[in-house]
Amino acid sequence: MFQSTTQVRVRYSETDQMGVVYHGNYAAFFEIGRTDALRDLGLTYKQFEEEGIMMPVLDLGFNFHSPAYYDDLLIIKTAIYDLPAIRSRFDYEIYNGNDKLITTGFATLVSVNMNTKRPCRSPVKLLEKLRPYFI
């Protein structure tokens, strides 16, 4: 298993009139966690795209446990439990600064060849960086 942790502070624009984080913003929080997890591995989406591979989201799910509010510090834990093949699944837990569970969820991305627009193997660099976590 590979795990990464990052933080983000809730901005006013991410809340509704009650100061609660609007549910649609959790997809963006997941993306922040996923992008930072890749950076922790020394990788970026830009590198994958330069190699001709896109990774669009195929599936996305959320479970809301408690609300997050304006100016809360959120801790986003991103985990990869299985070595990717064509699909890469990222699992998430988001906590507030008091260590209270806010949201859990997942995103499944599929590797796609940019030229053919067909599914392909996950980027070789991603597999190389993750393999040691699954031995």
pLDDT at 83: 96
pTM of this structure: 0.95
Mean pLDDT over the full length of the chain: 97
Q: 2-134 domain in CATH 3.10.129.10?
A: yes
pLDDT single digits (tens) 119-130: 999 999 999 999
- Of the chain, the end-to-end C-alpha distance in Å amounts to 9
Determine contact, residues 91/106, Cβ cutoff 8 Å: yes
Residues 123, 124, 129, 130: is their CA dihedral positive or negative?
positive
pLDDT greater than 90 at residue 24: yes
Residue 92's closest CA among 21, 30, 24?
Answer: 30
pLDDT single digits (tens) 47-81: 999 999 999 999 999 999 999 999 999 999 999 99
pLDDT greater than 90 at residue 116: yes
Q: 135: pLDDT confidence band, cut at 50, 70 and 90?
A: confident
For residues 8-13, give the mean pLDDT: 98
* Phi and psi at residue 131, to the nearest 5°: -50, -45
Residue 84's closest CA among 50, 48, 117, 32?
Answer: 48
For residues 19-41, give the mean pLDDT: 97
